[in-house]
């Protein structure tokens, strides 16, 4: 059986989880890891290269799994790799997904490649459920946490003067109670707690964090400065989320979808694996271009026989 040849781009928490999850699947062969930061020549017998060295693997890798940060790195990495490879990522900046689809769709069509973006638990699986909920709910609300947001944490760590940090997301309890009772919610459904280690001026760091667009600007944010030891005590990979929807047309219904994981990156890697295994089939059916998980039905991912068992 021909194996799907994989390259992993980026080797932070998500990249490590992708390596662990993908290597266990007998249908996959991990060819290489591409990283700007790793000094090792290989990890678990997988050779390590710089992103620029990826050119020598054109035609030798079926799919690049992009695991870099969404704030800035992915905006450069996705167009770079999509020119020569099929790609999948878990890009999570919701406001920029439409823009990324437009950019990548043009690149993919010009180079006969396939991009599947925003393929995590949110956006990704939650996007699919939001689509279904919007069909028959008068309204719905989405809550996250308590958990560490990897994307928001990465954004804080990039702030000049920050030594280390985590960003914890919590649901706004008052708004959560409104959603459960079918009342209208405000737009302020979440609270962000940011914990920072820094020797720089704390007020300056705080102002820089609060100005990060698409992450903290306009959000309900609390920022605290801690020691390394105290920060490490707060670190966790666990996360959760919930979609709550209601319908009141003649009768009352509540629709609910819960997600909970002990490891945010491992959960994301498992979702990416499921789509990766079907990616070449999807490319053959739909052609070159850029897509999201919303583009495909469960039948196309499961197959007819498997789908019949869950109807």
How confident is residue 309, by pLDDT bands cut at 50, 70 and 90?
confident
Residue 197 and residue 209: Cα distance in Å, rounded?
Answer: 13
Residue 304, pLDDT > 80, answer: no
**Greater confidence, 39 or 250?**
39
Give pLDDT, residue 232: 95
Residue 251, pLDDT > 90, answer: no
Residue 1, pLDDT > 80, answer: no
Whether 4-120+266-310 and 125-262 share one fold: the answer is no
Give pLDDT, residue 307: 72
- Segments making up each domain of the chain, as ranges: 4-120+266-310, 125-262
Give pLDDT, residue 123: 96
Give pLDDT, residue 303: 77
How confident is residue 306, by pLDDT bands cut at 50, 70 and 90?
confident
Residue 252, pLDDT > 90, answer: no
Give pLDDT, residue 284: 96
How confident is residue 175, by pLDDT bands cut at 50, 70 and 90?
very high
Residue 250, pLDDT > 90, answer: no
Query: What is the dotted CATH code of the domain comprising 4-120+266-310?
Result: 3.40.50.720
Residue 78, pLDDT > 90, answer: yes
Q: Which CATH architecture has domain 125-262?
A: 2-Layer Sandwich (3.30)
% of the chain with per-residue pLDDT over 70:
100
**97-149 tens-digit pLDDT:** 999 999 999 999 999 999 999 999 999 999 999 999 999 898 899 999 999 99
Calculate mean pLDDT across residues 258-285. 96
């Amino acid at each position: 059986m021909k194996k799907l040849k994989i390259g992993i781009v980026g080797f932070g928490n998500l990249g490590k989880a992708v390596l662990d999850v993908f290597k266990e699947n007998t249908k996959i062969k991990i060819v290489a890891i591409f990283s700007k930061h790793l000094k090792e020549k290989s990890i678990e017998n997988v050779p390590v290269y710089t992103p620029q060295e990826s050119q020598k693997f054109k035609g030798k890798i079926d799919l690049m799994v992009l695991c870099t940060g969404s704030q800035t790195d992915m905006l450069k990495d996705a167009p770079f790799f999509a020119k020569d490879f099929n790609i999948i990522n878990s890009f999570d900046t919701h406001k920029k997904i439409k823009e990324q689809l437009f950019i990548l769709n043009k690149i993919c069509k010009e180079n006969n490649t396939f991009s599947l973006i925003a393929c995590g638990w949110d956006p990704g699986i939650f996007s699919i459920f939001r689509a279904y909920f919007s069909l028959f709910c008068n309204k719905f609300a989405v809550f996250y946490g308590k958990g560490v947001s990897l994307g928001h944490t990465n954004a804080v760590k990039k702030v000049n003067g920050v030594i280390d940090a985590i960003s914890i997301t919590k649901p706004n309890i008052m708004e959560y109670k409104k959603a459960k009772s079918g009342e209208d919610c405000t737009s302020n459904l979440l609270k962000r707690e940011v914990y920072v280690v820094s020797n720089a001026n704390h007020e300056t760091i705080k102002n820089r964090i609060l100005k990060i667009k698409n992450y903290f600007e306009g959000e309900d944010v609390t920022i605290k400065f801690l020691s390394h030891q105290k920060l490490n005590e707060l670190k966790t990979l666990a996360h959760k989320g919930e979609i709550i929807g209601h319908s009141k047309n003649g009768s009352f219904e509540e629709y609910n979808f819960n997600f909970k994981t002990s490891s945010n990156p491992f959960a994301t890697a498992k979702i990416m694996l499921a789509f990766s295994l079907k990616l070449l089939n999807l490319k053959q059916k739909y052609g070159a271009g850029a897509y999201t998980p919303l583009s495909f039905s469960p039948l196309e991912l499961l197959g007819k026989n498997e789908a019949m068992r869950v109807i």
